[in-house]
C-alpha cells in the first residue's frame, strides 16, 4: 500500500516536468521551422518524432494552441499554424511599440545598469556580425532574437515582458523563415549599435527613436518582399 502510494506520488511529481519538456521541445521545433507552417500530424506521430509519450504531447499542444502556434483538429491531429503577411504586419505593430518604449526605459536607468545592458546587447550584436561574415544565417537569427528579447526583458516592465513573450515565438518564426529573402542583414547590426549607444549614454529620446526606426525599416523591407515573391503564408 505504501509502495503504491509512493509510485503514484512519484508519477504526479514527474508529470508536470514531462509536459514542460514536451512543450519546450515542440515550441523549439516550431520556432526553428523543423515543424514547418502547415505541417500536420497526429499526437502519436509527434510523440514518436520527439521520443516522448502521447499524453504530455497532448497537454503541450493545448498550451501551444493558446500561444497561437498550433491548432488542434479533432480526430485529425495537430496543425502548425501558418503566418500570413497580415499576421507579420500585426507582429511588427506590436514589437515597434514595445521595443521603442523598452529602449527609452533602459536609457533612463542608472549608469551601472545601462552599462551592463549595453554590454550584453553589444555581445549579441557582435555575434550577429560574426555569423553574417561566416554565412551562418541560423546563428544570425538566434543572436538577433536574443538582442530583441534582451532589450525588452532588461527594461523591467513585467506587462511588456509578458506581451513580448507571447509574440516573440511568432516573430522568431517569421525571422527564420525570411532570412534568405533579406538583403540588408548588415543594416540590422549597424542599427543595433546605434540603439546601444543611445542606451549607454542615457539618451532616452534617441534610444526610443532608433529602436522604432530599426523595426519600421525591417518591416518595410520584409512586407514588400513577401508580396513580390507571392507568399500568402509563412
Residues 204 and 164 in one domain: yes
Is residue 38 within 8 Å of 80, Cβ to Cβ?
Answer: yes
223 and 162 belong to one structural domain: yes
Tell me, what's the pLDDT at 178? Answer: 74
Q: Is 0.85 surpassed by the pTM of this model?
A: no
Last residue of a domain, one of 80, 98, 115: 80
Least confident of 65-69, 103-107, 223-227: 223-227
pLDDT band at 157; cut points 50, 70, 90: very high
Range with top average pLDDT, 50-54, 110-114, 134-138, 223-227: 110-114
What angle in degrees, to the nearest 10, is found between the helix axes of 85-107 and 111-134? 140
Res. 138: pLDDT tops 90 = no
Q: Determine the Cα–Cα distance for residues 179 and 197; give it in Å rounded to an integer.
A: 26
At residue 15, the pLDDT reads 58
4 has a pLDDT exceeding 70: no
Selection from 67-76, 137-146, 209-218 with the highest mean pLDDT: 209-218
Q: Are residues 98 and 42 in the same domain?
A: no
Is residue 214 in a domain? Answer: yes
pLDDT for position 97: 95
Residue 176's pLDDT is 74
Counted domains in the chain: 2
Task: Assign residue 33 the CATH number of its domain.
Answer: 1.10.10.10
Amino acid at each position: 500500500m505504501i509502495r503504491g502510494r509512493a509510485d503514484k506520488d512519484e508519477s504526479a511529481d514527474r508529470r508536470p516536468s514531462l509536459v514542460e519538456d514536451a512543450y519546450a521541445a515542440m515550441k523549439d521545433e516550431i520556432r526553428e521551422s523543423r515543424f514547418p507552417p502547415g505541417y500536420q500530424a497526429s499526437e502519436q506521430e509527434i510523440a514518436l518524432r520527439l521520443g516522448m509519450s502521447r499524453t504530455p504531447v497532448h497537454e503541450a499542444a493545448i498550451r501551444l494552441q493558446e500561444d497561437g502556434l498550433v491548432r488542434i483538429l479533432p480526430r485529425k491531429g495537430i496543425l502548425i499554424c501558418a503566418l500570413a503577411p497580415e499576421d507579420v504586419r500585426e507582429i511588427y505593430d506590436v514589437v515597434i511599440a514595445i521595443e521603442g518604449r523598452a529602449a527609452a526605459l533602459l536609457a533612463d536607468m542608472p549608469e551601472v545598469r545601462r552599462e551592463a545592458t549595453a554590454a550584453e546587447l553589444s555581445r549579441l550584436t557582435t555575434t550577429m556580425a560574426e555569423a553574417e561574415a561566416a554565412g551562418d544565417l541560423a546563428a544570425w537569427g538566434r543572436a538577433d532574437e536574443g538582442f530583441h528579447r534582451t532589450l525588452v526583458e532588461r527594461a523591467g516592465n513585467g506587462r511588456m515582458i509578458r506581451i513580448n513573450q507571447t509574440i516573440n515565438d511568432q516573430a522568431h518564426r517569421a525571422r527564420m523563415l525570411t532570412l534568405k529573402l533579406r538583403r540588408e542583414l548588415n543594416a540590422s547590426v549597424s542599427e543595433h549599435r546605434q540603439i546601444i549607444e543611445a542606451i549607454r549614454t542615457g539618451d532616452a529620446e534617441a534610444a526610443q527613436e532608433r529602436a522604432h526606426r530599426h523595426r519600421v525599416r525591417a518591416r518595410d523591407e520584409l512586407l514588400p518582399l513577401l508580396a513580390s515573391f507571392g507568399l500568402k503564408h509563412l
